[in-house]
Every structure is written in structure tokens, then in C-alpha cells.
């Protein structure tokens, strides 16, 4: 919480005044609502904080002192209130019926309070009650606000109180970590960002982006790569696209949708569906390439070009601008730049129909895969991990899919703390898997060595996958399950049970924004060895499967992801922007302490340390690390089952 009272007497005065006001308002409450309180208050979206109660700011940490008086919160739209009982250091939440109109849904009805305690989610029906303890989470359904109960112990010494308060603030920062996620512009290319989610409070979308934050400025040519494309939504959500002279859409839509898009598209747009030589494959890559007079913007993300993906779901996006190569550069001279080779090799396989764009100062230029070698990618600190369909052998086998990831990780040196550290697989569609392939995939993701050349060794994976209850209580209700399209036969294989972990995203305020983001990572506490943001789900079609005694890799689909690695902190930095004419294409020397090369360190948003340090790269990992394994009550979501328990909109599944 911010702006707390300087002393306990001041805080107690605020609490006493609040309690008196609320008790007066509550004098007509039912017997169940006024049971033996020492101090009573209603809770909601606006906790009372600040010096002498003059400042009111929103916080998701509800701090209550283990004394006679409680610092409580009050809000007329709240649907519950707290009662502290004498001689007990826990609290009881008494739920009262919701107002006739729910703030979010606009529908009449009663919405429960949900309490997360001891690893379980408990629903509190109207006028019901549940005991609360320290660190419990309280969730408004279908509200946006999640509260963490933090009890501040009774202390006689001010110094002791300050220690307790500091700890409570730290826990509060963990809960609201995204509020303070504001990376410097110099670090933005080395991290990614979450997409904004409609309906969340402003602080929950801190440093998040929308499609209009990506497609901006004087674009002269654009290539949009995706699976699903809603042309009507796209042009209304991003009107800038209509003014770009040349636009190509590389898609994975079926024949019916393709014909519709062909009829509706602007005349200067070109459609291209890449060849799929192996059955059951898709063009699933999600990327945007924008050509500017000053350079190119490369964007890799996880959202289909449809409304719900850019509005209601947890998604991720990485982008970086790169300048044109200078006239002194000999383009034909080989240069060591893994990112450039990754990109051009992938684009070449797409085989789109070459088109011409008129570039200011450069005339008419043919836009093909080779065109993208005209840009200077030396400032890239990430690598691209792509999949393309085919039966890949020889050196090509290590260019794609999980074998590409294995190859890059084998060349990387990691800190010793990541030896045998765990893995996380997080995605939104589960293929038909077997234990043999899962071991093959795990071997690739366990690659890497330490500074003494010791292999990192096997990492035990957990699979983050929403439960039925997560989907039911999500922002979209059961409708969110349409974008988690895995059948029961894939989800309920017995060998998968030991891997299931919950989608918990309180610190990013996205527990109820169901994930369409796909990520794979290796971590130790809040430190990250490497992190992959990708279009790839967990399937053989996306990642490939080894065949013929491991001499061939078979991949069905097109996929694209960006891999974040610990990399040298460069003494030469290029803070370049295609849309800022004041940004320089020249590399500016940075100050360094000594000649010892430092490597970047990847951390989560909840890592406690000096984020201003040049080598610290904070990644907005939206889910909790370490993940919480399923309890015996949790059921993994599968979209072909029926669910009779109504969701937050009063619907059942299927509708």
C-alpha cells in the first residue's frame, strides 16, 4: 500500500472513524451480518489509505492489524464485509447479496465471493461466511479486484513495526507487480510486454500494449502473419492499416474464410496462404513486419487478429526496430548475426508472391525474403525459434522446432543455480502426446551448460493449464474455453496428471484473463535461465518429432517464437526507433565498470532486487513461479465435455 499513516495512533484514528461510519450505515443489517463484531467495515475497490486518511488510492493488499481495530475498506458496490472476532487472529468474511446490477455484467443476480485459502478456492454464497487467515486471497466475482489479506502483528517498538510494514509492502508489491513494471526504453527490446485486457483497472495494464501501439508511424509496407484474421475487426481496431500503401496478409484460414477476406479486403492488400505439405498442419505463426523509411519493425506475438484475442485474454508481444545497414556495409560479406539468419531462413520458406514497394529515397524495392537482409540486426539480444512443415534431415534438422531450441541452448552458458532446475510448459492447446515424445522434448529444453562446462541436466517440467473452475469464473465465462481447444482424450491421459499446475496470475491481475499466450521457460525461484514466447502449443505438429532413429525431424505446422537468453551487456547500445526521427542509428558507447564482460540476468516481475542495474532484464511473466500443482479437486479444462455448473454469466457448457 502507498502513503500509509506515519504512526499507529494516526492509523487507528482513521480506522476508528471508519468503523463508526460503517456501523452507523449498517444498523439495519440482518442478524447474520452484525454478529459480535469488534470493528466492522465493508470491502471493495477503494481501500482507505494515506496519511490521516486524506489520500485514497487503490491497492490489492488489505492490511489488517492484529489488534482491536481493523483498517477496513468501504465501497458501496462491495458484496461482502469483514468481522474480526475477539480473541482470534483470523477474520470472518460475511457475504451479502450483490446489488441488483452487477458492475461488470449488467445482469441481475447474485454473485459469490471466492476466497483462496490453503491452496483451495471456496465460494461464499450470499449471507454465508468463511474464515480468513494471513495471505489468503479474496476475489470478487465477476469483479476485477483481488485482495490479499496481510495481518500486521502487534508491535510495541516503532522499529519493529517498520520491519513488519516493510515486509507487508513487499508482499503487496508481489501481488501488484505489474503496477511497477516500467522497463527503460533501452531495455524494451530485451523483454516483452503483455497485451492490454479490457475491463481491468489502469494499473493492471501498465506498460501493456494494443495493436495501435504496434502499427504506428509512417509505414510504407506491412506483412501481417497469423492464423485467424477478422478483417472487419482489424480495420476498425487499427485504421492505420488502411493508409499503408502495400499490405500482405499471410494467414492460415480455411477456404470459406479466405474467400470472404478476398472479397472484403482493400485493393492494395495481398493474401497468401503458405503451402502445407503434411496433413493436419496449420500456418500458426503470429508476427508483424513493418517497413519504414528509417528501418524495419519486427514483432512476434501470440494473438490472432480477432477481437477477443486483443481484448480479453492473457497475451504476449515482443518487438524491436532495426535501422537500414549503412552504405559502408557490404551486404554480401558474411556477418555473424544469428537473428538475421533465423529471420531470413524462416521468411524464405513462406514463399509469398514478391511485391514492390516505393520507399522514400530508395525508389521501388522488391519485398521478398532477401529484402530483410538490408537491415542491421546487430543490436538484437534475442533469437528466433521457428517451425516449418516438412521432413528435415542433415543440418536442416537443427534449424527448426525443438531441435533448433536444443541447438541454441547447447551453445549457451548459464549460472550454476540452474543445474537441474525445473521447467514450465504453458500454452493453450494440447496435442495428442505420449511419454516418449515428452521425454524427447524435455531433453531439448534441458540443454545448456554452466561455466565449468557441466551440463544443466534434466529439468522436471510442470504444465500450466487452466482448470474447469478457472474457465467458469473467467472474464468470458465458459466462452473462454473456445480458445483452449483440447479434447478430453488428449487432456485426461493418466501420465499427464503429475505435470498439471494452476494458472495463477494475481501479480499481473490476469487470473481471470484466460491464457492464449504460449511460453516455455527454465527458472530458479524468480530468476530465469531462458524464456521463450511463441505461437507453439505443446504438440508434435508444432515442435516436430524425431523419426528414423533420430535422423529426421517431422514438423506439420508453421510457428514462430522469440527466445530470451542471458547475453553480454553490450558496451555499444543502439536506442533506435523507426517512428522517432530524433533517435540515432549510430551506436553510443555506454560507461562500464572495468573490462570484465557482464551478462544480462533475466528475472520475473516479482524478483526483489535492483532493477535499475544494467544487467537486470525484467520479464513480465504473467503466471506465478513456482507454479502451484493441481489439488485433488482440480479438473483440467477440456472443451468437449459438458459442464452444468453455471458460469459468471449464468451459462452452462456447451451453450
* Angle of the 401-410 helix axis to the 435-445 helix axis, nearest 10: 40
Could you give the domains of the chain?
Answer: 8-175 (no CATH), 188-619 (3.30.870.10)
The C-alpha atoms of residue 246 and residue 234 are separated, in whole angstroms, by 16
Numbered residues of the known binding site: 286, 518
Report CA-CA distances (Å) from 385 to 95, 466, 474, 646.
49, 25, 31, 41
The C-alpha atoms of residue 91 and residue 38 are separated, in whole angstroms, by 11
- Residue with the three cell numbers 555499444: 572
> In percent, how much of the chain has pLDDT > 70?
71
- Residue with the three cell numbers 460475511: 94
Q: Which of 64, 45, 55, 40 is nearest to 4 (CA)?
A: 55
The C-alpha atoms of residue 194 and residue 208 are separated, in whole angstroms, by 5
Residue 134 makes CB contacts below 8 A (sequence gap 6+) with 149, 150, 151
Residue 54 has pLDDT above 50, yes or no: no
Q: Higher-confidence residue: 19 or 213?
A: 213
What's the CA angle centered on 506, arms 501 and 512, to 5 degrees? Answer: 80
- 435 and 426 Cβ atoms separated by less than 8 Å: no
Mean pLDDT value of segment 170-180: 65
Catalytic, 507? Answer: no
Q: Which three cell numbers stand for residue 62?
A: 488489505
Mean pLDDT value of segment 432-459: 97
Look at residue 334 in the predicted model and tell me its pLDDT.
52
Would you place residue 648 in the very low, low, confident or very high pLDDT band (cuts 50, 70, 90)?
Answer: very high
The C-alpha atoms of residue 528 and residue 580 are separated, in whole angstroms, by 32
Whether the model pTM is above 0.85: no
The C-alpha atoms of residue 482 and residue 501 are separated, in whole angstroms, by 20
The C-alpha atoms of residue 492 and residue 545 are separated, in whole angstroms, by 22
Would you place residue 181 in the very low, low, confident or very high pLDDT band (cuts 50, 70, 90)?
Answer: confident
Q: Higher-confidence residue: 153 or 571?
A: 153
Numbered residues of the known binding site for substrate: 286, 518
Q: Which three cell numbers stand for residue 561?
A: 517464437
In whole angstroms, how large is the CA radius of gyration of the chain?
Answer: 27
Catalytic, 251? Answer: no
Q: Higher-confidence residue: 469 or 592?
A: 469
Residue 618 has pLDDT above 90, yes or no: yes
Q: What is the DSSP letter of 400?
A: S
Average of per-residue pLDDT values in the chain: 81
Residue 154 has pLDDT above 70, yes or no: no
Euclidean distance between the first and final Cα of the chain, in Å?
42
Residue 201 has pLDDT above 60, yes or no: yes
Q: 312-328 burial, b if ≥16 CB within 10 A, otherwise e?
A: bbbbbbbbbbbbbbeee
- 410 and 450 Cβ atoms separated by less than 8 Å: no
For 113-151, write each residue's pLDDT tens digit: 777 776 677 777 665 666 776 667 777 654 444 566 665
Residue 241 has pLDDT above 90, yes or no: yes
Cis omega (within 30 of 0) for bond into 654:
yes
Look at residue 53 in the predicted model and tell me its pLDDT.
38
Residue 65 has pLDDT above 70, yes or no: no
The C-alpha atoms of residue 70 and residue 228 are separated, in whole angstroms, by 51
The C-alpha atoms of residue 267 and residue 259 are separated, in whole angstroms, by 14
Q: Please count the helices (runs of H) and the strands (runs of E) in the chain.
A: 12, 34
Mean pLDDT value of segment 373-393: 97
Coil/strand/helix, residue 216 = coil
Mean pLDDT value of segment 316-328: 92
Coil/strand/helix, residue 199 = coil
Identify the active-site residue in 284, 301, 402, 507.
Answer: 284
Amino acid at each position: 500500500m502507498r502513503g500509509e499513516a506515519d504512526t499507529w495512533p494516526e492509523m487507528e484514528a482513521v480506522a476508528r472513524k471508519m468503523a463508526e461510519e460503517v456501523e452507523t450505515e449498517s444498523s439495519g443489517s440482518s442478524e447474520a451480518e452484525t454478529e459480535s463484531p469488534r470493528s466492522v467495515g465493508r470491502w471493495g475497490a477503494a481501500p482507505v489509505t494515506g496519511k490521516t486518511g486524506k489520500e485514497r488510492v487503490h491497492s490489492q493488499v488489505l492490511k489488517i492489524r492484529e489488534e482491536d481495530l481493523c483498517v477496513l475498506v468501504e465501497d458501496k458496490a462491495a458484496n461482502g464485509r469483514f468481522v474480526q472476532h475477539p480473541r482470534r487472529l483470523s477474520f470472518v468474511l460475511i457475504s451479502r447479496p450483490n446489488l441488483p446490477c452487477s458492475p461488470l455484467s449488467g445482469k441481475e443476480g447474485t454473485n459469490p465471493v471466492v476466497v483462496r485459502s490453503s491452496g483451495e478456492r471456496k465460494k461464499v454464497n450470499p449471507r454465508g461466511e468463511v474464515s480468513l487467515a494471513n495471505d489468503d486471497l479474496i476475489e470478487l466475482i465477476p469483479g476485477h479486484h483481488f485482495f490479499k489479506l496481510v495481518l500486521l502483528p502487534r508491535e510495541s517498538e516503532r522499529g519493529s513495526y517498520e520491519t513488519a510494514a516493510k515486509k507487508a509492502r513487499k508482499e503487496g508489491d508481489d501481488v501488484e507487480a505489474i503496477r511497477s513494471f516500467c522497463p527503460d526504453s533501452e531495455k524494451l527490446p530485451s523483454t516483452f510486454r503483455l497485451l492490454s485486457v479490457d475491463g481491468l483497472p489502469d494499473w493492471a495494464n501498465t506498460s501493456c500494449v494494443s495493436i495501435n501501439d504496434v502499427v504506428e508511424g509512417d509505414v510504407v509496407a506491412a506483412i501481417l502473419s497469423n492464423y485467424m484474421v477478422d478483417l472487419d475487426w482489424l480495420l476498425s481496431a487499427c485504421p492505420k492499416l488502411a493508409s499503408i500503401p502495400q499490405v500482405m496478409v499471410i494467414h492460415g484460414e480455411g477456404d470459406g474464410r479466405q474467400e470472404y477476406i478476398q472479397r472484403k479486403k482493400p485493393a492494395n492488400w495481398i493474401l497468401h496462404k503458405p503451402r502445407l505439405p503434411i496433413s493436419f498442419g496449420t500456418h500458426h505463426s503470429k508476427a508483424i513486419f513493418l517497413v519504414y523509411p528509417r528501418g524495419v519493425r519486427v514483432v512476434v506475438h501470440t494473438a490472432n487478429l480477432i477481437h477477443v484475442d486483443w481484448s480479453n485474454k492473457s497475451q504476449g508481444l515482443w518487438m524491436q526496430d532495426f535501422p537500414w545497414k549503412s552504405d559502408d556495409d557490404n551486404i554480401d560479406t558474411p556477418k555473424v548475426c544469428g537473428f538475421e539468419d533465423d529471420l531470413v531462413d524462416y521468411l524464405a520458406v513462406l514463399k509469398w508472391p514478391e511485391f514492390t514497394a516505393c520507399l522514400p529515397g530508395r525508389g521501388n524495392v522488391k519485398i521478398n525474403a532477401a529484402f530483410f537482409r538490408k537491415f542491421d540486426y546487430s543490436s538484437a539480444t534475442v533469437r528466433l525459434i521457428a517451425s516449418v512443415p516438412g521432413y528435415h534431415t542433415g543440418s536442416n534438422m537443427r534449424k527448426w522446432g525443438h531441435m533448433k531450441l536444443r541447438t541454441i541452448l547447447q551453445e549457451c552458458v548459464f549460472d550454476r543455480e540452474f543445474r537441474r532446475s525445473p521447467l514450465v510448459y504453458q500454452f493453450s492447446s494440447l496435442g495428442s502426446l505420449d511419454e516418449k515424445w515428452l521425454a524427447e522434448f524435455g531433453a531439448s529444453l534441458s540443454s545448456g551448460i554452466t561455466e565449468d562446462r557441466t551440463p544443466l541436466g534434466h529439468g522436471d517440467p510442470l504444465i500450466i493449464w487452466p482448470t474447469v473452475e478457472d474457465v467458469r469464473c473467467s472474464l468470458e465465462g465458459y466462452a473462454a474455453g473456445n480458445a483452449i481447444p483440447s479434447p478430453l482424450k488428449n487432456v485426461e491421459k493418466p501420465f499427464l496428471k503429475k505435470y498439471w499446475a494452476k494458472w495463477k496470475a494475481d501479480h499481473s491481475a490476469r487470473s481471470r484473463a484466460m491464457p492464449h499466450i504460449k511460453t516455455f521457460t527454465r527458472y530458479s525461484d524468480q530468476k530465469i535461465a531462458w524464456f521463450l514466447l511463441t505461437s507453439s502449443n505443446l504438440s508434435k505438429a508444432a515442435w516436430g518429432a524425431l523419426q528414423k532413429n533420430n535422423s529426421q525431424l517431422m514438423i506439420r505446422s508453421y510457428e514462430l517464437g522469440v527466445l530470451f537468453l542471458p547475453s553480454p551487456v553490450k558496451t555499444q547500445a543502439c536506442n533506435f526507433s523507426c517512428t522517432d526521427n530524433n533517435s540515432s542509428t549510430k551506436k553510443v558507447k555506454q560507461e562500464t565498470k572495468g573490462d570484465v564482460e557482464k551478462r544480462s540476468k533475466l528475472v520475473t516481475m516479482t524478483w526483489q532486487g535492483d532493477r535499475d542495474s544494467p544487467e537486470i532484464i525484467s520479464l513480465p511473466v504473467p503466471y506465478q513461479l513456482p507454479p502451484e500443482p493441481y489439488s485433488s479437486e482440480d479438473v483440467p479444462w477440456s472443451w468437449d465435455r459438458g459442464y452444468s455448473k453455471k458460469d459468471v454469466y449464468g451459462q452452462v457448457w456447451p451453450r
